[in-house]
Amino acid sequence: MALADRKSDTIHSKTGTDKDALKAEYDAGKHEALVSYPAEAALLYQIQLMKEDIDELRRYITAEVGDGATGAAGRDGAAGANGRDGADGTTPTMTSLSGSSLPTRAPARGLLWNDRGIVKIG
């Protein structure tokens, strides 16, 4: 499942020293004065919950998903280069396979062979 498009928009367009000034206000705890106002306190609470959710997503991606190798589209996932569907994400069909290079006598157990145009497992 692919990551959905972002729903949120840019909150401010401050950069450089203007952005540093905002950080300084935050670091000084100016936002804590908003707790006195019920509506703003509710918003601060929700922002904190979103931060905790983002932290958990970061933890999960780092610890559980890692480099993405085990995800569906990752290197070892079903649609990945080493996955069951192969490098291009499609399962080969009999029309794209040729049994002409297979042996015509039954080989060791578990190997493929060509029995007059029918591919069988030995």
Query: Is 9 among the domain residues?
Result: no
Same domain, 44 and 75: yes
Does residue 101 share a domain with residue 69?
no
User: 101 and 114: one domain?
Assistant: yes
**CA–CA dist 109, 122 (Å, integer):** 5
| DSSP string for residues in 38-54 | HHHHHHHHHHHHHHHHH
- Full domain range(s) for residue 30: 19-90
pLDDT value, residue 27 = 93
List, for residues 64-118, the tens digit of each pLDDT value: 666 555 556 566 666 666 666 655 555 555 555 667 777 888 888 888 888 887 8
pLDDT of residue 34 exceeding 70: yes
Q: Are residues 100 and 50 in the same domain?
A: no
pLDDT at 61: 78
Tens digit of pLDDT for each residue in 4-16? 788 888 888 999 9
Q: Do 96 and 85 have their domain in common?
A: no
Average pLDDT of the segment spanning 58-68: 71
Say how many domains are in the chain.
2
Residue 49 and residue 23 share a domain? yes
79 located within any domain: yes
Q: What's this model's pTM, rounded to 2 decimal places?
A: 0.47
